[in-house]
Structure 1
Amino acid sequence: MVRMAMLAVAIAVSGGGMFLAGSLATASIAEAAVVSAITVRGNTRMDSDTVKSFLTIEPGQRFTNADIDASLKALFATGLFADVSIYQSGSTLVVEVDENATINEVFFEGNKRLKDEPLAGMIQSRARGIFSPDTVASDVSIIEEAYSRAGRGDAVITSEVVPLANNRVNLVFKVNEGGKTKIRSVTFVGNNAFRAGRLREVMSTKRTNLLSWLRNDDIYDPDKLAADEEKLRRFYFNNGYADFQILSTSAVLDEVSNEYNITITVDEGTKYTFDNIAIESTLDGVDTEALYSKLKTKPGTTYSAERVENSIIALTEAVAAQGYAFVDVAPRGNRNFNSSTIDVTYLIDQGARTYIERIIIIGNDMTRDYVIRREFDISEGDAFNQVFIQKSKKRLEGLGLFERVEISTRQGSSADRVVVVVRVAEKASGDFSVGGGYSSSSGALGEIAFTEKNFMGRGQLLRISASFGEAEENYRLSFTEPYFLGYRMSAGFDIGRNSRGDTDSRRYGSTTTFGSLRLGLPLTEHSGVSVFYTYNDSSTDIDSDLLDTAGTQGDAKGELSAALTPPNSPTDWTRSGFGYTWTYNTLDNSITPRDGVRLEFSQTAFGAGGDATYLTSEVKGQAFATLSEDFDFVGMIQGRAGANTAFGGNSGYRTLDNFFQGGRAIRGFSNNGFGPRDPVTGDALGGMYYWNATAEVNFPAPFLPETYGIRGAFFADAGTLWGVDSGGKKAIAAAHGTTSSALGDVNDNAMRASIGASIIWNSPFGPLRFDYAEPIVREKYDDLRRFSFGVSTSF
């Protein structure tokens, strides 16, 4: 028999190849090999016992070539070793390892489009980690993919390893970003119901234009294009086209110009309207007749998949509230091809008795788990219902914290248990902006603002801003906790300071320091109420040239009206009060709405300390409707009204507390350009009451690409401002040496009206608006401003 001491077996693995060194007398000898000890050599970072733990061979036990092979594979699988060899020396098994180097630092060179920090967060190689050629190759692919998504499809990424002492290396990723890959065209084939421009508005992928460098929305991304396909389907499904299909989508790269041409071929099908709507139930005790009021689908209206989905949610919630936890609502549609209508029957049935075992959240690197979990109306242990899951998905998408939200399920520990898996892809939630511009009302202005929508990963909103203009400065700090004390109600505060200088339309300055505490409560899906406490301390700055210290204030032209100066309007004034605001909002988009209603009613009662004792009441409403989906004509009507009611005489109310209005309310007039005026000094006195209304139609700007975000509009404004407070009238009467009843039309309740046209630009800096208005009903002493521009805001 050949002695074991004479057996020399060496198996080495290098560079992924394997070879057998030495010789074996017979296979049976290898099978009978036994060693008394195992020795590890070459290890510096990893201790020997850890290396041995990966082996399938133990002292005193038989081992074969297969065991050596398995041990080698296990050691290489750790990614810690550049080379490993295992051989027997006498009665000892020797394991020689060559440890991979340690990464000292990771560097990026040549990258301008993507900065170091986001790139470092994408890759797997880390400083003080183990160097692995396979990992580096994977990292190169990851960086290339990132550049492709950033519109740099021809970027070239290489890696370089710089050896250092003590088995350390520096890893350098060298980036040649190349030129930007643009999108030359997005065309449609088969679209008859809607123009290509309207369909391109639905998509987030845009054609390259002069402003693309600001918006960065002209990047070809297959995933983004796939999402756009889904947006197109939803658009057609919600506008009556239940048979709509995308037949093909092609993206062809012109390598000469480095531009993509995208072509989407569609089959629109027939446009349907709802006809017969019915509810059927297999559950005892469910009154189907009482559920019809919950439906969002009405006979005679255009078919909409979204309305069907909302009806399913409403029915599921209504039946679940009656104690049916495992309810399933399924719509059954029946197309009537001859009449182009769809009958819909909602079938209410017993759902599967399945419970949620666990909710697993993946991808929230910054956002804390509870921020996501609290958007679910159901929790672990509750009855599983797919409708509530989809409702939670919409809530998560509405937070604005995630690029993508995916919710899936898998089998739990038993047949009646499911595991809900929530995968999110976070997006940047912080924004720092520095801007400047010019407004016709405030002159030159600049703004610095920091906004964080996910402060500390808690879903909280923090905003700090400062703006500077020729006649105005504003500083503001706002904070909002959306789930106060763990309940679905918001709480927050605002503090700030506002300074306004004197202007042609307002011949006095003011400085106001303010603060407020607020609590918001949702009432329904579309309505809510906010209660608040507000405090502000203001001081009025009046130029000495406008004051008559020796005679009667306001009795001569050039002086400031007696109604606006002490004693009627003290220069130092504090207001402290409580109030509430009720809102109802069904707008489909907060920036460029096309359908829906927004209503708001608010009241603030001042008198909880401070100087002011009066009640302010305001009501505002907007309604939008798409007049032509193909041409994208959108109609809007708007109305606003307000009233101030003084408590206990004039001591707690001053003329400066009046409503002051101008071009923002009725275009074509200057700030403080209409309403009651001092008949001698000409100063605007504001009014205790106002109303105004607007009718408008807006449309895409002709001859301009929709990617510019520019729309045109025609409008008509009308309204009035009236009601000088009794203290103000008495002050003016005393200054003019007459009775207040003889002041004639100082209250000025005459109506004003204007018509005009606008350019609305959804710019990268925010929504901007340029208006030209011609007053058609005015008074001779009104101040006019036919052209105005500034930030576009609702209400």
Structure 2
Amino acid sequence: MYRHVALAVMSALIGATSAMAQTSGDTIVDISVEGLRRVEKEAILDKLKSKEGTPVDALLLTEDLRSVWNTEFFRDVRIEKERKDDGWHIYVVVVEKPSIKEVKFLGHDDLSEEDIKGVVDIKPFTILNKDQLKKNVVKILDLYVEKGFYLADVAFRIETVDGTEHEVNVVFDIVENTKVMVKQLSFVGNEHVTSDFIKSVLQTREGNELSFVTGSGTYKEEFFQTDIFRIQALYYDHGYVNVKVDPPSQTISSDRRYIFLSVPIEEGEQHDIGTIGFSGEVRLEDHNGNVLVDEESLRKRLKIESGDTFNRTKLFEDIQALTDVYRDEGYAYANVTPNSRIKKDERLVDLDLEVERGELVYFERIEVVGNTRTRDKVIRREMRVFEGDQYSASGLNESRARVYQLGFFETVNIATSRGSKPNTMNITIEIKEKSTGTFQVGAGFSSVESFIATAQIAQNNFMGNGQLLSVSAQLSFGEFARQLATLQFYEPYFLDSQWSFGLNAYITQRYFREFQRNANGFSPSFGYPITPDLRVNAGYTLEWIEVVTDAASGPSLADLNRGNGRNSAVNASISYDTRDNRLFPSSGHYHVLSGELSDRLIGSEEGLEHRRMQLFMRYYYPLPLSLVLKLNASFGIVRSRGDERVAISERFFPGGIYSVRGFEPRGLGPTQRVSVRGDPTSETFEFIVGGNKEVVFNLEIEFPIVEAAGIKGVIFADAGNAYDDDVGFFYAGTPKEHIPAAYMMGSNELLLNGPPLGLYYSFGFGFRWFSPIGPLRFEWGIPITKRGKDDRDIIFEFTIGNFF
């Protein structure tokens, strides 16, 4: 109302004096603004086209009035003028809208105020704007719909603040109502595809007894609209190329708690793939006329075949694979277009795959941005494409993966842009660095080592050179305690070559069941990648070892080679690694074959000389429902020089959470009966002396429990054993008298010929939490083959760290 009155009055006043002002040549000598409280004067003057020193213009003043009004800061705007001796004085008179003192949200029980504030853009101490309030009502409603409150209602009201008309409170009144649950989801017209199969691909689910816990069954409009496209895609992938999914019907129950959904479907006929042809720029040759790509080579890459049921997803996967063939040959803008012809009567879809190669493209410049600490060379040396190379799509993908796997960056993106010529392309590697230095002090408990205290200072990107420098210490107590301090340095590109270099120095005390092994030493090593997945390593170890037994058993073990003294050894290994993630793998393989030689010729003391070979093979397979199958097989053998028994400090001790669960830690393998205090007439006990051969098998199925929290469950089966010097693997070819006889299957059956295949077996279950301090494992192992009545029926163990 104010606006219309003001505009009418101004039009009359300005119109009556317009001619006189323009003919007299009088100018504006002053413009003032009255009524401002919060808005700056300059913000108003900037909106005016009328300026001091210019003639009074009726049309301009009318436009100025509209401009000031349109700022939406004011509930009343007037422009007045007064002629004085020195010229015209213009007065812009305004009444500001009230400012917002406080924004309140009432009636929200299921959604937090923080959630609502996250979508609302109205803030205290800003000017009240009713249009903006209406937009924010819609935003809040959209949030409730997203959370499943399909029937929520939101309104706003304005409260005056006592004692002033210049400030108000904005109140959003929210009526959440209950979440709408999907009571029934049905389909009409699906004769060939079952309703259960359709439901299996949808986000929308019917509610059940556990919906109040899991949240499943809540109706969300956005999800349901996406599900309509999922239904179409499902039919396309099963040959129904003419399927039609009509708009669904929705019915709300009388109490507004449930929704009934019905989706009409016209399936049409199922079609198979007819002929598959190629056209366009298919054949590709190099400069010497050698064929790089032709129709035959493309057909070998196709997963679809004539006669198969038409599947749109597989077709698009094949299209991408064919496109990548040309892009890996340098044709960055290659395109493969599927032209289809539907033969309705024959129920066939003929395909013509048309190839457009475009121009051959070369990389011109490679630029790295965002690296404030990491040097360019650390990133560039991981690239699989270089300036001047032909374009390669797989090379770019591999480059990004390698840079990300460094672990120094939160995000790694590779952007491409056209170069200075039509056939050139620039690469920009955009990274966001993250903290690579850590200082950790922690304490915890483990069923293996009781109380554990740890401390570590590490820099994974030392001086921005991509090197690792770490100092760590661990102190634990209990029957299987250990104390260690380590210094580690690793250079992945030694002297800017493909060779890696590592150096470890350590002081350790490790407690076994019947003895303690102390070792101080260091170990340098070098490595070289033969292929991206295949790597060789070689190193040297020099350490001083001391084996300590208790006073009671010490005298009776005089004939046992304890392995005290200096150990000097060279080692080598070859590894093959295709895991998708080195910390939490879900697919791929990891195999390592290693050997170690300790000999007096290179400085080892008598009794510590040995030759060791170890092999472990690990397999990871993704299964449906986010399950992961993990398999591990480990073999080891160590032999001493000549006929001397292998030192106890170098032998194998399987058992426990790191090898064969369900048995005591390091409790499997050969034993030797010894007497207390060396008295042959006193009581004897079994002293575990370890084996010179070891076999361990593990099978696990890992599954998500609370995926967002990093909690997973696991079921497992283990088998393993260690064998003495005069016993073969699996007891093969071993005389019966050399096989221990005291074995039990279950609770009472005696295995007179030892355990089956010479292995101890167990199974069990557990869960794992990938917590901020590292992976925590809680596992229960149940032995199948017992060594006697002393073995427990079930063993619970927990620890920090991954298994395999």
Report the TM-score range of the alignment, normalised by the length of the smaller protein: 0.5 to 0.7
Q: 1:93 aligns with which of 84, 90, 93?
A: 90
**What are the Cα deviations for residues 192-229 of structure 1, in whole angstroms up to 9, with x where unaligned?**
67665565454444444565566545543322333444
Cα distance in 2 for partners of 1:49, 1:544 equals 87
How much has 1:604 moved relative to structure 2? 7.8
CA–CA distance in structure 1, aligned partners of residues 240 and 460 of structure 2: 41
Q: 1:83 aligns with which of 76, 87, 91?
A: 76
Asked if the contact 1:329–1:347 (Cα under 8 Å) also holds between the matched residues in 2, the reply is yes
Q: Relative to structure 2, which stretch is displaced further, 186-195 or 89-98?
A: 186-195
Shift of 1:330: 1.6
Residues matched between the structures, number: 683
Q: Which residue of 1 aligns with 2:28?
A: 36
> How big is the shift at 1:679?
6.5
How far has the Cα of 1:256 moved from its partner? 1.5
Aligned position for 1:601:
591
1:317 maps to 2:324: yes
Q: 2:138 aligns with which of 138, 141, 146?
A: 141
Identity %: 15
Cα separation, partners in 2 of 1:518 and 1:751, compared to 1, 3 Å: farther
Deviation, 1:95, is 0.8
Establish whether residue 584 from structure 1 lines up as the match of residue 578 from structure 2. yes
Q: How does 1:404-419 map to 2 (within 5 A)?
A: none
Q: Structure 1: which 5+ residue stretches go unaligned?
A: 1-10, 357-369, 399-408, 410-414, 419-453, 522-528, 627-631, 702-709, 730-740
Work out which of the two has the higher radius of gyration on C-alpha atoms and give 1 or 2: 2
Quickly say closer, same or farther: Cα 1:221–1:327, change in 2 above 3 A: same
State the AA in 2 paired with 1:185.
K
In the alignment, the residues of structure 2 paired with residue 519 and residue 246 of structure 1 have an alpha-carbon distance, to the nearest angstrom, of 59
**Aligned counterparts of 1:75 and 1:383: Cα–Cα separation in 2:** 59
2: CA distance between counterparts of 1:586 and 1:42?
Answer: 68
Structure 1 residue 267, shift from structure 2 partner: 5.2
Q: Tell me what 2:294 maps to.
A: 288
* Structure 2 runs not aligned, ≥5 long: 286-291, 364-375, 406-415, 417-421, 426-430, 494-498, 517-547, 599-603, 675-684, 706-710, 729-735, 742-753
Output the CA distance in 2 between the equivalents of 1:19 and 1:342: 69
Contact 2:476 2:482 survives alignment (8 Å): yes
User: Do residues 24 (structure 1) and 12 (structure 2) align?
Assistant: yes
How far apart are the structure 2 equivalents of 1:619 and 1:219? Answer: 45
- Rounded Cα–Cα distance in structure 1 between residues aligned with 2:107 and 2:28: 56
1:510 matched residue in structure 2: 482
* Counterpart residue identity of residue 253, structure 2: D
Q: How far is the alpha carbon of 1:40 from its aligned partner? A: 1.9
Distance of aligned partners of 1:759 and 1:602 in 2 relative to their CA distance in 1, 3 Å threshold:
closer
SS in 2 for 1:326: coil
1:37-65: CA deviations, max 9, x gaps?
Answer: 33222234445444222123345656666
309-318 vs 154-163, greater mean Cα deviation: 154-163
The amino acid of 1:287's aligned partner reads V
CA contact (8 A) 1:532 1:579 kept: no
CA distance 1:297–1:212, shift in 2 (3 Å): same
Q: Secondary structure at the match of 1:122?
A: coil
- Aligned partner (choices 645, 654, 659) of residue 660 of structure 1: 654
Q: Report SS of the residue matched to 2:9.
A: strand
Corresponding position of 1:178:
176
Aligned residues of 1:723 and 1:749 also touching (Cα < 8 A)? no
Once the two structures are superposed, what CA deviation does each residue of 1:517-541 show, in whole Å capped at 9, x if it has no partner?
A: 88999xxxxxxx9998877765335
Q: 1:93 to 1:131 in 2, by over 3 A?
A: same
State the secondary structure of the residue aligned to 1:13: helix
- Give 1:92's aligned amino acid: H
Structure 2 CA distance for partners of 1:222 and 1:155, relative to 1, 3 Å: same
SS at structure 1 position matched to 2:654: coil
Structure 1 236/159 Cα, relative in aligned 2: closer, same or farther at 3 Å?
Answer: same
The aligned counterpart of 1:254 is 253
- Give the alignment's Cα RMSD to 1 decimal: 7.2
Equivalent of 2:64, from 71, 74, 78? Answer: 71
Q: For 2:298, what is the secondary structure of its paired residue?
A: helix
* Paired AA for residue 552 in structure 1: S
Distance (whole Å) between structure 1 residues aligned to residue 254 and residue 456 of structure 2: 50
The 1:601/1:698 distance shift into structure 2, 3 A limit, reads closer
| Residue 620 (structure 1) shift | 0.9
1:550-580: CA deviations, max 9, x gaps?
A: 4534969xxxx999xx94599x999999989
- How has the CA–CA distance of structure 1 residues 173 and 758 changed in structure 2, closer, same or farther, with 3 Å as cutoff? same
- 1:619 counterpart = 2:614: no
CA shift at 1:181, angstroms?
0.3
> Does the residue aligned with 1:148 lie in a helix, a strand or coil?
helix
* Inter-partner Cα distance in structure 1 for 2:101 and 2:562: 75
Instruction: Write out per-residue CA displacement over residues 260-314 of structure 1, whole angstroms, 9 at most, x where no aligned residue.
Output: 3444454566667767655544265362257438725153777554443333333
Higher relative contact order (CA 8 A, sep 6+): 1
Give per-residue Cα distances to partners, 1:689-710, cap 9 Å, x unaligned.
6666688999999xxxxxxxx9
Report SS of the residue matched to 2:137.
helix
Cα distance between partner residues in 2 of 1:198 and 1:494: 53
* Residues 154-193 of structure 1 mapped to structure 2, 5 A cutoff: 154=152, 156=154, 158-161=156-159, 163=161, 169=167, 171-174=169-172, 176=174, 178-185=176-183, 187-189=185-187
For residues 107-165 of structure 1, what are the alpha-carbon distances to aligned partners after superposition, in whole Å with 9 as ceiling and x for unaligned? 55665544444443422223454443332333333233223322344254545556489
**Corresponding residue for residue 50 of structure 2:** 57
Alignment correspondent of 2:338: 331
- Work out whether residues 692 and 718 of structure 1, in 8 Å CA contact, stay in contact via their aligned partners in 2: yes
Tell me: CA distance 1:758–1:618, structure 2 relative to 1, closer, same or farther (3 Å): closer
Equivalent residues in 2 for 1:298-309, closer than 5 Å: 298-299=304-305, 304-309=311-316
Q: Amino acid of the residue matched to residue 143 of structure 2?
A: A
Give runs of aligned pairs for residues 365-444 of structure 1, distance below 5 A.
none
Output the CA distance in 1 between the equivalents of 2:236 and 2:459. 37
- Paired residue for 1:552? 553
Q: CA offsets, 1:664-707, max 9 Å, x none?
A: 87787776676555577557777676666688999999xxxxxx
SS, match of residue 55 in structure 1: coil
Give the Å deviation of 1:393.
Answer: 13
The DSSP-based 3-state class of the residue aligned with 1:20 is helix
Q: CA separation of 1:497/1:460 partners in 2, compared to 1, >3 Å: closer, same or farther?
A: closer
Alpha-carbon separation, structure 1, partners of 2:267 and 2:485: 58
Alpha-carbon distance in structure 2 between the residues aligned to 1:238 and 1:394: 31
Paired residues of 2:562 and 2:648 also in contact (CA < 8 A)? no
Amino acid in the other structure paired with 1:178:
E
Tell me the amino acid that sits aligned with residue 21 of structure 1: V
Say if 1:779 and 1:55 are closer, same or farther in 2 by CA, change over 3 A: same
| Secondary structure at 1:98 match in 2 | strand
Tell me: CA distance 1:275–1:497, structure 2 relative to 1, closer, same or farther (3 Å).
Answer: farther
Give the whole-Å Cα distance in 1 for the aligned partners of 2:111 and 2:258.
21
What residue identity is the alignment partner of 1:140? Answer: V
What's the offset of the Cα at 1:72?
Answer: 2.7
How far apart, in 1, do the equivalents of 2:20 and 2:455 lie?
82
CA distance in 1, matches of 2:141, 2:186: 30
Cα offsets for 1:317-370 (capped at 9, x unmatched): 3313323233211234466778977665432214599999xxxxxxxxxxxxx9
